[in-house]
Chain A
Amino acid sequence: MNVITVPPSLDDQTFEQVLEQLAPLPADARILIDARNTTWASPYGLTALLTLAQSRAEKPQFMPPERDDTSSYWSRARFFDYAGELFEIKGKVPARGPERESQTLLEVTPVSRSDDVHKVVERIKDKAAHILTHNLHLESRAVMGFAMALSEACQNIVEHAGRGGWVAVQNYNYRKRMGRHVVQIAVCDAGVGIRESLESGNRRPLTDRWDDGVALETAVIQGTSRFPDPGRGQGFKGIRGYLRKWKGKLAVRSGTARVAEVPQWDDDVVRRDHLAPMPGTQLFIMIPEALER
């Protein structure tokens, strides 16, 4: 059994450590994902873990966080609702318990059809409007763009992934970098990924270099879709425009590369290549609290 250790704090950056441990192993290798010492996970961390399990030929084993508050949060976030089917869980999983007021805007929610996108947006629109205007102190017109960004991000799964994925949205205080409230949207799938999607529509640009990084830039930055229709591929453009306006961050990972639209408050790099491979596409959006009220 190959043990993959989940870092104590699991987010879009530290998830790379999980993938690096997996990289040398074949897809059918028996693995145990050990999250016993994990104390915090972002929506990206939770949805990416499910995606990872989806991509394995052999059902992985999973050891949940030992800390009660962590595992009960994962339970309330409905991670275990889906993890139970994808992992062989070793250890105790707390019952979800009664619904209570939490900072989770949207628990881990599966997305595979257009109707799922409608349900997701409808479910969180009122709460999102309240959090964006009261906690993040954004103008009310930010709410429409938020719904658009969430909808377009989820539609990428429906339109391009070729299999279902997950979305989760959370509001929390991002002490580590900013000391400000943020809303994070994570949309992850283990589908065909952006490179294969573009190739399937013969939309590969005429260039000698063609890899996951070029494919990501073609789709995310240049707005090219596998469909030749000029109205296609505008979803990413819309998301980027929205995030630029509200000083948010976008990062999209696919295959072995990652591109990011990096706001001033962050020091992420705009493009990373030669990362450990991960099937599908993983998208991360962060909208910060406005500084000036």
Chain B
Amino acid sequence: MAPHTIDVCAVLRSAVNQNYGNLLTRDTGMAVRHQIERELAAHREGGITSLDFSSIGLMDYSCADEVVAKLLVLLQNDDITRGGYVVFRGIGEDHLELVESVLTNHGLALVCLCEDGNPRLIGRVSEAERRAWEMVRVRGQAAPSELADEFGFGEDFVAGVLDELSRRRLVRRGINGFQALDVADTVQ
């Protein structure tokens, strides 16, 4: 699967026809999200898309709500067999608090590739979800039966947690279990 990256700043400049690199105002966020949705629709088929925020300057709640939260809600509500996995990258420490707040408000979470190169789960997740996600991330891929012992709960419980993570697009359901969103695939 060819890696696919969407430069959010380039989308911003093209969607609202302005040269500022700031994600501000709800109108702007809506225009940016619509363009990202179109690009994602053209690159589905189970692939992972990297949304690159590294060239974004300032950000406000309204715009982050449109670009991040509403996009995730749309992906979660879409048919999971159509893919729609996204990894966020380039979200600086300055933006992180704001993005987390927006996610928490909607009960959402996302996978973010941090400046140190490691993927991180941000937003609202249960302790069980966080643990299961971390286990899958470390292994790259895992079936519920492989995690049950370490998890300390039965296989059914682990399967339920992984199902939920998959529904939330935080891990990918594969043939042999659940896969981490391999961020290396998204690097261009």
Contacts and interface: CB of A to CB of B under 8 A. Distances in A.
B18 A118 contact: yes
Contacts of B20: 118, 122
A238 interface: yes
Given A114-B28, A155-B25, A155-B62, A238 B98 contact: yes
Interface in A270-285: none
Contacts of A144: 58-59, 94-95, 98
Given A148-B98, A241-B101, A235 B27 contact: no
Contacts, number: 78
Contacts of A148: 58-61, 98
Contacts of A122: 20, 22
Interface residues of B, number: 26
A176 interface: no
A155 B26 contact: yes
A235 B98 CA distance: 11
Contact of B94 (A114, A141, A230, A237): A141
B171 interface: no
Contacts of B70: 231
Contacts of A158: 25, 27
Chain B interface, >50% SS class:
helix
Contacts of A147: 22, 24, 58, 60
A235 B62 CA distance: 7
A231 B58 CA distance: 19
Interface in B45-88: 57-62, 65-66, 69-70
A237 B61 CA distance: 10
Contacts of B26: 114, 155, 159
B105 A230 contact: yes
A238 B101 CA distance: 9
Contacts of B95: 144
Interface string A70-95: 00000000000000000000000000
Contacts of A125: 57-58
B127 interface: no
B102 interface: yes
A138 B106 CA distance: 30
B116 interface: no
**Considering residues B20, B26, B69, which has the most beta carbons from chain A within 10 angstroms of its beta carbon?**
B26
A231 to B, nearest CB: 4
Interface string B22-44: 10111110000000000000000
Nearest to B19: A122
A252 interface: no
Nearest to B30: A114
Contacts of B65: 231-232, 234
A29 interface: no
A121 interface: yes
B93 interface: yes
A241 B105 CA distance: 14
Contacts of B18: 115, 118
Nearest to B57: A125
Contacts of B98: 144, 148, 238
A23 B20 CA distance: 44
A16 B6 CA distance: 51
Contacts of A152: 60-62
A151 B105 contact: no
B25 A231 contact: no
Nearest to B69: A231
Interface in A191-208: none
**Considering residues A122, A141, A148, A235, which has the most beta carbons from chain B within 10 angstroms of its beta carbon?**
A148
Contacts of A115: 18
Contacts of B57: 125
A117 interface: yes
Interface of B: 18, 20, 22, 24-28, 57-62, 65-66, 69-70, 93-95, 98, 101-102, 105-106
Given A143-B94, A144-B59, 8 more contacts: A117-B24, A118-B28, A148-B61, A148-B98, A151-B62, A155-B25, A231-B69, A235-B61
20 contacts: A114-B26, A114-B27, A114-B28, A117-B25, A118-B28, A121-B22, A121-B58, A125-B58, A141-B93, A144-B94, A144-B98, A147-B22, A148-B61, A151-B24, A152-B61, A155-B25, A155-B62, A231-B70, A234-B101, A238-B98
